[in-house]
Structure 1
């Protein structure tokens, strides 16, 4: 029970710290937009406690843990948002501007992000926080814990009372304004306006709540965010519609051409290695190299996925976000399925197997990854591809031509050597000796130990 209470306190505080850091990055100044005056976000602490109680039994089943974490955190956030709105009379957070919103209390991207944080909490943060709490002497632990809980409780009570009284005063002034009717003179109307504005500034609690939750006064803030996102999306759409009548004026790799797709392949392959390395650290708790080629940090399935999504979705940018999400989910899952089948058919190996996960398709992909592909495809079409395309087009034409030729030669050679190394890795057990100079070179530079380090998840498929 003590560990559960400490989980609530610790992660309420960490939630507040994370929010302050975000505000420093966005507004360039300190801003506490939590419901409490003290440095705690009880919403985060409560979510952490619920995750601890419900998800801990799933620790040894990472894929099921992630899926359950997404569902659980989404349910907690939606229910909390609904209750806050009913009790306080305004939305503490509002995602109604997002086309992928869930009841205006959360959007699909944030639901996925919250699920990933819940997964990381169970696998990484909870064991660390428990170990630190156990270092505190028992008596001292009880004193500090209950003192902090008392502060949070009193702060919550005062904040709720402040909001309730503030709403009553606003309602009272509104009723007076209605009773005055159309015959009220300007002085009386001005006096009412001054009294209303004074409600938000006459004490420190009201000022802080008014600054933390603009919906108490206005919804302009959300409108500004929506307009800004709309501006970015409109600007990005020009990348799909740009036209140059004079060919000499066209930038390097203009339009959807082979050169641009090749660079997307290289960048996507590099990004895939970073993503897989971080993912391995979250699941296994240790650093593990995950690559798809023997030279360099590249995983071609990600690069191929980036190119495939671009080719399929390039002409669909005019569709709404929901349709792009659905199409991306189907296309991405199909591509992942094909890559798994191709690797097993051609090379006789598999690098991923989801047979033990719910709603999987022959172990080659599953519904969870389809949803992730949908989210990635939407973000790719709306934001990433236009930005990346502009970046590629800034490369000088002459230097770009030389660099492209060098990279193509390197990637082709890299793919050839990778295929040869994998083939020899499988064949080495039956034919350890060879007179072929090239095979000897492979055996020397890519022995079993090196291959197991580069491809820790590659194995022969299980036979039925």
Structure 2
């Protein structure tokens, strides 16, 4: 039973997380003690991460690269979200990476993210299959009673820990309010009494003593502002790219503000970045070098460029929103854009370039939860950091030279799109046995023959061969399945479909 197994995963890996934290504390502080939020020996954040990681990646157990990459992204997002919401709800951070390099808002750091990828790979690929065989040996009723009892214990422990934390913060706020009313002429005895009452807050009962021992930040919540100061400084500077205005139009730089010219360059930038990403993905995920482009000339994958423009258009006016809202909106918009591109490709060309039908939480095989989370993360990074940087870079182009270059690039990309569509059309005709009817088609047959098109678009598949319809996946003897996609503007069936 899947739900029963998931509960066991949650319990077991919550306990393992508590042990790992204890061992780390033993090495760092030379003593073993409970540094978790709960009084019981469980760290639910580890259990939650394990369950989400398994549900999302269990279909990729044989592909270690996807397991590693997916685990790094998913578990990092879990760590960041838990840290963020704990800070907002309870006023302190359960973990703090501010003193380490390459950290993101002090919630996570790159080396730790890579470590999570290794842990997730081992968890999904090795540990959970072993656990499944062990869980099956336990009688169903006994297994259900035991795991539900432990989960109930964790829930009760969580409630007590939250209540203790909220009451403690209320008392701290009250005492801080009293101290702010004291004047400069207050006697020393009053100051000593206030300090004594403040210290007593953290020693009145065993729950408070344990929480403060595990989370010293509870004694001083002002640290949050200090930690976030540098990141807020960067965000504030980036905000100028959204709000800057010029009284004189002649003073405006090239492609200033939100305009067609800037979107065009963002399209080019995103298209080339997508080609680089897809090529690296093929190299590591499938173990071989493979060109993945969406147009016949140049390293362009238009879906990535379109995604960059679409995210910019949707989120440009929403930069003032919180990081959480931008993440959620980006996840929904990105997943919706990916779904639309898949549907549009199938409707217009009768082909598909990616299929997630065999992954968890997918929508008609066109997108899934994991990629929605990745879109959310990319959207947040794009709005806060990448777009302001790219926008400033574009605006540094001299106006006169920029106008000439832009005109040339627009003409080239239109010609590129025309040649890509027509080359694909001829590819379809050749597949149906239709000979060339004019000199232009003969030129295409010579310079964009089947071998060339298969090289440029290695994962193009006819919808009839893949089993994909506008209503989703249908039965097929040879379903097309890939963890990545070539995201091409034009698509065409191959005579030898990839299994």
- Provide the TM-score with structure 1 as the length reference: 0.59
Does 2:274 align with 1:276? no
How far off its partner does 1:348 sit? 1.4
Q: What secondary structure does 2:290 align onto?
A: coil
8 A Cα contact 1:325 1:375, kept in partner: yes
- Decide whether aligned partners of structure 1 residues 460 and 57 sit closer, same or farther in structure 2, where only a CA change above 3 A counts: closer
Q: CA deviation at 1:383?
A: 0.6
Q: Deviations over 1:211-232 (max 9, x none)?
A: xxx99xx999986652211111
CA contact (8 A) 2:315 2:383 kept: yes
Change (3 A) 1:66 1:252: same
SS of the aligned residue for 1:282 comes to helix
Q: Which residue of 1 aligns with 2:247?
A: 245
Matches within 5 A, 1:13-162: 35=28, 58-60=60-62, 65=67, 69-70=71-72, 94=96, 106-107=107-108
- Contact conserved, 1:347 with 1:423, CA < 8 A, in 2? no
Q: CA deviation at 1:420?
A: 1.1
RMSD: 4.3
Match of 1:191 in 2: none
Task: Structure 2: state its 5+ residue gaps.
Answer: 1-26, 31-45, 84-91, 125-187, 190-215, 468-473, 475-499
- Give the direction of change, closer, same or farther, for the CA distance of 1:333–1:64 in structure 2 (3 Å limit): same
- State the secondary structure of the residue aligned to 2:433: coil
For the residue of structure 2 that corresponds to 1:428, the secondary structure is: helix
From 431, 455, 458, the counterpart of 2:457? 455
Are the structure 2 counterparts of residues 438 and 329 from structure 1 closer, same or farther at C-alpha, using a change threshold of 3 Å?
Answer: same
SS of the equivalent of 2:461 reads coil
Displacement of 1:429 after TM fit?
A: 1.9
Instruction: Please report how far the alpha carbon of residue 69 of structure 1 lies from its aligned counterpart in structure 2 after TM superposition.
Output: 2.8
Gap regions ≥5 residues in structure 1: 1-33, 38-46, 82-89, 124-181, 184-213
State whether residues 67 and 117 of structure 2, in contact with CA within 8 Å, keep that contact through their aligned partners in structure 1: no
Question: 1-side partners of 2:70 and 2:239: how far apart?
Answer: 36
- Aligned equivalents of 1:398, 1:76: Cα separation in 2: 48
Segment drifting more, 226-235 vs 66-75 = 66-75
**Cα displacement string for residues 410-450 of structure 1 (whole angstroms, at most 9, x for unaligned residues):** 11111111111112112212235223111111111111111
1:259 maps to what in 2? 261
8 Å CA contact retained: 1:64, 1:357: no
Equivalent residue, structure 2, for 1:442: 444
8 Å CA contact retained: 1:94, 1:106: yes
CA–CA separation in structure 2 for the residues paired with 1:221 and 1:334: 39
* Offset from partner CA, 1:162-195 (integer Å, 9 cap, x none): xxxxxxxxxxxxxxxxxxxx79xxxxxxxxxxxx
Cα offset, 1:321, TM superposition: 0.3
User: Which structure features the higher share of helix residues?
Assistant: 1
C-alpha distance in structure 2 between counterparts of 1:121 and 1:399, whole Å: 53
What SS does the corresponding residue of 2:345 show, helix, strand or coil? Answer: helix
Aligned equivalents of 2:112, 2:307: Cα separation in 1: 23
Residues 252, 394 of structure 1: 8 Å contact kept: yes
Once the two structures are TM-superposed, the CA of residue 58 in structure 1 deviates from its matched residue by: 4.9
Query: What is the match of residue 196 of structure 1?
Result: none
Residues 269 and 301 of structure 1 are in contact (CA less than 8 Å); yes or no, is this contact kept in structure 2? yes
Q: Residue 398 of structure 2 aligns with which residue?
A: 396
* Greater length-normalized contact order (CA 8 Å, ≥ 6 residues apart): 2
Return the alpha-carbon distance in structure 2 between the equivalents of residues 241 and 305 of structure 1: 23
How many residues align? The count is: 317
Q: Does structure 1 conserve the Cα–Cα contact (< 8 Å) formed by 2:59 and 2:358?
A: no
Pairwise CA distance, 1:299 = 0.4
Q: 1:238 to 1:91 in 2, by over 3 A?
A: closer
Q: Alpha-carbon deviation of 1:326?
A: 0.1
Query: What displacement does 1:360 show?
Result: 0.6
Deviations 1:316-371 (A, max 9, x none): 00000000000000000000100111111111111111111111111111000000
Aligned to 2:368: 366
The 5-angstrom pairing of residues 368-383 of structure 1 reads: 368-383=370-385
